[in-house]
Structure 1
């Protein structure tokens, strides 16, 4: 039987990740290099020549990928904080890896949106020397910057063994994360011209769906780390993932509730703009994305599996969590893109105005997206090697 990592450390041996771990880090690093090269090329050639975005649909798959990463990062922070910040002992073992994953995902998100912006360096400069407190996007950059700072401090303190101080830094990270993420929801929800987004629902939905994403990420990537490196999972870690699975199932039910009422609100009374977008989602060009990915793979399948195994079968929960993360990526794409496809003046029957705008990601856009995932994957597997499996004694 394979040894637990505590047994290995007890004999003062070094945990050496498998060669597979190293090769995967190199492979994802190559993807990141390709995505970076394409992103740099977009600066030179011009975004309008490289990406599929237009004046009518200015936010494409790079924005949705950014949203996917930062949503997952916030969810990782919030879910793991239940243990090391708010004192639930059974979730302590997931703290270190979850915080590291939160850092890796938000760095990947920043990398993707940097290539989406035509002049990302100006954003960093003018965010400081010319702030605009009335702008939700200014607050987004500022709050996520503070969130990343607190996550880095928390992770460093965890590695140094200062768990009480790490808990305080984690609490500050939670506050910054909730503020940043609800503000991200407001970036969409306060846009009056986009009826599919507009409303107070979005900030609340973003927080709930973030914790759902975080639960899936914790289960999948913890299991993946053990699987790739051939480690035997300790009883404490198994217990932590089982508790995480129950939290994940609860958040799935909450997001199902939100999704149901989002659809009903979009249909009842045929609200202009929102009704057309909702019909496109449930019975139009986005129907397959919605029913197969968002509902089927993203909500129903993991919920049923977790209930069926009573949150005890770690491999089964990990597999459906990985599938759900793919579905959540599609969910973010649908949210960002569909909200822009209905012309604001569609109800005026303007001559030559299309019923729907169109958008399709270009091949080069997909390469930048893969580059973002490459950066995350490289950081994840490098973290397993550098920090020796994130083994922390509590």
Structure 2
């Protein structure tokens, strides 16, 4: 709690500097208008979506072993979404701008739809959590199904925010919507593995019918890491093939340009290769191994979001004397932006620790039954 409080203070200082000084305090420019805070926003909302999607495997799709994660997954989905809203609100210069966008709709704008769909998604998550805590399986399933649908809609629309920008060939196209949904599952499995590792340490429920949930999540994690490696490989190949301007230069910025260290060390190394190798070691999906692999994965995922946002913009759009400018733009994240990101992480940690103390998040056997159904079983047993 103390560490998270310190992180929040750092975030408040960073946010105040941004509100006072504007865009320059974030390190962004007219040439690179989206920076690390957009990457952090994507990181948080993708994490939220992933938590919702993985939790839906239990009480929505009826895979009983995943019911154990339900309450905590939905709780942290709400918290990470709120953290994302804080980051994007400050990235816009003021949180009031985010509210103003919602009430001045442009139905042709993917960004407006992003705000509306994520707002609806957040409301449905609160409703779902309410019924889950009340152990009302019927209405929790209905709310969870609607939250699942809204999560897919909002998240695929987030991919469209980037994919609709034809002036940025590195982003343009339909693949980002699919990539975001796939990588959301990766984020969800990794976060829940870390979460339930610590839940076990404090004596919480981590087993369903004798089966430990973390190794099960580790199998999901390994599968989605493999799918991500496959996707990233083909993204690089298609970016290099044909030398299409904007896409080719963006890929080269990742492979051998200013983002190469981030890409090879964090995105590929930490995010994919190291955790995949850890999970594939002889001896199976042991709890500690899954935890370590998940920590590496989440570090890598953050840099995946950062690299995606920056690589799409550092390639110039300007034409000089009929020739395309080829010198890449320079972007450095300013300290206030890092402060806001640290503060958002601290806020997420603080709120989850608070929820662990105040809310009944542990799985209870037969919690999926309606009170009337349980009463009927008791009467029948007595008879």
Q: TM exceeds 0.5? A: yes
Please, which moves more after superposition, 293-302 or 92-101?
293-302
* TM-score normalised by structure 1 residue count: 0.88
Q: Shift in Å at residue 347 of structure 1?
A: 8.3
Superposed CA offset, 1:326-345 (max 9, x none): 11001100000111000013
Change over 3 Å in CA distance of 1:125–1:46 after alignment to 2 = closer
1:367 aligns with 339
Count how many residue pairs are aligned between Structure 1 and Structure 2: 366
Equivalent position of 1:179 in the other structure: 153
Q: Deviations over 1:47-92 (max 9, x none)?
A: 32x2210000011111100000000110111111011110001111
2:307 is the alignment partner of 1:334: yes
Alignment of 1:100 with 2:72, yes or no, is: no
Aligned equivalent of 1:13: none
Assess if the C-alpha contact under 8 Å between 1:72 and 1:214 holds in 2: yes
Q: CA deviation at 1:46?
A: 2.5
- 3-state SS of paired residue (2:258): coil
Structure 1 segment 28-67 matched on structure 2, within 5 A: 28-48=4-24, 50-67=25-42
2:176 to 202, 227, 246: 202
Kept in 2: contact 1:209–1:251 (CA 8 A): yes
Contact 2:276 2:293 in 1 (8 A): no
CA contact (8 A) 1:243 1:311 kept: no
Moved more, 61-70 or 271-280: 271-280
1:230-288 Cα distance to aligned partner (Å, 9 max, x none): 55844548533222222222211111111111000001111111111111111222122
User: Is the 2:68–2:207 contact (alpha carbons within 8 Å) kept by the matching residues of 1?
Assistant: no
Per the normalisation by structure 2, the TM-score is 0.90
- 1:291 equivalent among 249, 259, 264: 264
State how far apart, in whole Å, the 2-side matches of 1:142 and 1:66 are.
16
- Mapped to 2, the partners of 1:168 and 1:335 lie a distance apart of 35
Q: Does 1:112 align with 2:87?
A: yes
1:226–1:233 contact (8 Å) kept in structure 2:
yes
Deviation track 1:350-376 (CA, whole Å, cap 9, x = no partner) reads 59x561001101112111110010111
**Which residue does 2:235 correspond to in 1?**
262
Question: 1: CA distance between counterparts of 2:70 and 2:282?
Answer: 24
Confirm or deny that 1:214 pairs with 2:208.
no
Q: Is the 8 A contact 1:225 1:384 kept in 2?
A: no
Counterparts in 2 of 1:383 and 1:268: CA distance versus 1, 3 Å: same
Paired with 1:271 and 1:134, the residues of 2 have a C-alpha distance of: 28
Structure 2 gaps of 5+ residues are 368-383
Pair 1:225-2:216 in alignment: no
The question of 1:302 aligning with 2:275 is answered yes
Counterpart pick for 2:114 among 121, 124, 140: 140
Distance 1:348 1:90, change over 3 A: farther
Identify unmatched segments of 5+ residues in structure 1: 1-24
When residues 47 and 283 of structure 1 are mapped into structure 2, their CA distance, relative to the original with a 3 A threshold, is: closer
Residue number in structure 1 paired with 2:370: none
